[in-house]
Amino acid sequence: EDFFSRMEPGMRELFRVGLNGFVKPKDVEGLVDVIRAWTSGVVLSAVEHPEIWTRKRQLAALDLFMDMLPIPELASSRARSPRGG
């Protein structure tokens, strides 16, 4: 097994734990898929094109992505954070 194959189950479990209590149990696996795919895509893009995917751009994309998730608590907690608003 390579590094990435070993890492995948742990990453998916981390997202499951984080979603617990915020979304309906029936929605967890679909959201885990979406969050995992988004995360992998941003990481790969940043590695391939660091001059385009600056920290500022990654954080702006993360804020937009989080706003699109069906988790109202994210929007209210972001509004209180230094980056929120």
The reported pTM is: 0.81
Residue 18 has pLDDT above 70, yes or no: yes
| Residue 15 CB neighbours (<10 A) | 19
Mind listing the pLDDT tens digit for each residue in 21-56?
999 999 999 999 999 999 999 999 999 999 999 999
Mind listing the pLDDT tens digit for each residue in 52-80?
999 999 999 999 999 899 998 877 666 66
The highest-confidence range among 4-8, 14-18, 64-68, 80-84, by mean pLDDT, is 14-18
- Two tokens, residue 38: 């988004």
Looking at residue 36, its amino acid is: R
pLDDT of residue 77: 66
Angle between helices 28-48 and 55-68 (to 10 degrees): 160
- Two tokens, residue 26: 């029936």
Q: Are 66 and 73 in contact (CB under 8 A)?
A: no
